[in-house]
Structure 1
């Protein structure tokens, strides 16, 4: 199966696809999926641990990006009917954060997989909010 059959906006289902659990969940929707890309969303809530003074902080954006990568892995393993492995951020490169989103804003993040080899994944990431790209970067993740 190459494409996501439907959008998943049920946050509880999305949470089941990643190893992180509340209060550290930074994705709440799966909007598009292919073998080489994923788009995920997060509506920023005031109770989010990365919300501060009405904004979503830079570490929260980076964690949202990383969990979007984890969601790709989790959904891919779900399609194979296998349990998703735990992964870690191996490296963060060229992260640019233009502006911080506000509480109640919705982030949309697209990850494109550049390379996968022996449990190491290299990706480019772009996060948008209110129709504007607010953050970009590259990440390397590793499976445990």
Structure 2
């Protein structure tokens, strides 16, 4: 798996995205977390990397990496569920994944995300359970901004 991932990344850094994708996908299908993340990123950003953008497949691969505790995959999943990318807007899942990423130390809760959380809190009716989770994320993001 790792040798497939390494070969895929070598192709990637040499701008051969088709071969990079093929080798990374092989490693990802065998459960290699870093390869799962790279495949998700390629589907997420698509066309600029010569791979067709597919947010539904990006979510699928981010989830695989996220369940293996990859904090960036958890963070990106949270963002995608907040924004409804891939037609899957889900505030419950967004809060869940953002909290998991934050608990692992991935605190890239920048001003735009904190602002978005405040907007969601004020504009939408969210159950008390989820509102508490959003407030926790808001507090964590604010603390990071004040560092």
TM-score normalised by structure 1 residue count? 0.24
Higher strand proportion: 1
Name which one, 1 or 2, has greater alpha-carbon Rg.
Answer: 2
Higher helix proportion: 2
Which structure would you say has the larger RCO, counting Cα contacts within 8 Å and 6 or more residues apart? Answer: 1
TM-score normalised by structure 2 residue count? 0.24
